[in-house]
């Protein structure tokens, strides 16, 4: 024999009239509208966000390319400046050596006189 717990409380019946229950087809429309509209709104937001993220990614790539080009140009300018500076230093050193030779020659000439 199966165990059945002792009953507690009072048994009550519920009476349901024909008009008391809701009509699913009629009552579901507002809820369905909300669900559909929210889904569409969320979908549009996601598409816009994806588009925005793609645009940001493209901008970032272009920015990095511009920065890289600027760095290359800057390095070329620095390299050219170093070449000019080294060439100038070579000319200055040559002129100093020439002046030193001239000064020694003048000293020798003065020593002979």
pLDDT digits (tens, 9 = 90+) for 16-31: 777 777 778 888 999 9
Tell me the CA distances in angstroms from 86 to 75, 82, 91, 98, one per residue in order: 16, 6, 9, 18
Integer Cα distance of 41 and 45 in angstroms: 6
Question: Does 90 have pLDDT greater than 90?
Answer: yes
List the one residue out of 40, 60, 36 whose CA is nearest residue 48: 40
CA 70, 72, 77, 78 dihedral sign is positive
Question: Does 14 have pLDDT greater than 90?
Answer: no
Q: What is the pTM of this model?
A: 0.51
Integer Cα distance of 31 and 35 in angstroms: 6
What pLDDT digit, counting tens, does each position of 45-74 carry?
A: 999 999 999 999 999 999 999 999 999 999
The radius of gyration of the chain's CA atoms, rounded to the nearest angstrom, is 47
The pLDDT mean for the chain works out to 93
User: Any idea which residue has 């709104």 for tokens?
Assistant: 41
């Amino acid at each position: 024999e199966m165990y059945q717990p002792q009953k507690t409380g009072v048994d009550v019946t519920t009476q349901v009239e024909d008009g008391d229950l809701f009509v699913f087809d009629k009552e579901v429309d507002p809820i369905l509208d909300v669900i559909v509209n929210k889904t569409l709104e969320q979908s549009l937001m996601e598409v816009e966000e994806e588009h925005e993220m793609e645009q940001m990614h493209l901008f970032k790539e272009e920015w990095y390319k511009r920065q890289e080009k600027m760095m290359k140009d800057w390095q070329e300018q620095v390299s050219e400046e170093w070449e000019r500076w080294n060439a100038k230093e070579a000319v200055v050193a040559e002129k100093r050596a020439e002046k030193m030779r001239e000064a020694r020659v003048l000293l020798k000439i003065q020593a002979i006189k």
